[in-house]
Structure 1
Amino acid sequence: MGAAIIDGGRLLAAQRAEPPELAGGWEFPGGKVDPGESDEQALVRECREELGVEIGVGDRIGGDWPLTGDWIMRLWTARLVKGEPRALEHLQLRWLAAGEVYDVAWLPADRPVVAAVAPYLG
């Protein structure tokens, strides 16, 4: 699952550090759901681990977005509750205004999701 973290009309994008075949590509922060977690609980945990922030989970965007193989991504809007995002597991982070959302090289699976997030940026 992933978080479309929006603050002040800007979207947070994260540049992957690994695995090598995905390194350098941009994505929405997030990750896998552990056993016993809801998607929303996992999203809060992942943002704490990856970015060092606490988030509030908002609206779900779309349905199940297909990834490679049998994997899917589920995406929610999110807002910062506490902390300033830091690249703890990514190469870098970047805040993107509405007119800048395509200025980074999104991973192929994330590209269609960006279009669905854009209306939330105002």
Structure 2
Amino acid sequence: MKRTAFVILSLSFGLAGSAALAEFKPIKKEKDFRAQLVDRKLTDANGNWTIIKSDGSQTGSFGGKTYKGAWTWNGKFWCRNGIIGKKEIGTDCQLVEIDGNTTRFTRSKGKGKVGDPFTIN
């Protein structure tokens, strides 16, 4: 009985984890990015937030510091640059994925660090 319960429990965790990973889908077109994320407030679990604006600018707050930046769409990637507080963060083109009302950004065209998820408000 214990073995059966362990197997069932293990399978359910495995399937739940796989399903959660499989639900994020890349946004590949600027029109889809604009429709789903632009001019909406994105907030992470730490209280950081940003608004990616339709005019190509971006504002927000990260780590309690003001963020100002600019963005463009390039191929299948969202590219941004900006300043947090007084520190320039440089330009980076990122893979954007979405799952319902959650989005995540992966640096270096999807080959870098996966950022914390943001809730789309």
Q: TM-score, length-normalised on structure 1?
A: 0.26
Q: Which is strand-richer, 1 or 2?
A: 2
Larger Cα-atom Rg: 2
Q: TM-score, length-normalised on structure 2?
A: 0.27
- Higher relative CO (CA 8 A, sep ≥ 6), structure 1 or 2? 1
Q: Which is helix-richer, 1 or 2?
A: 2
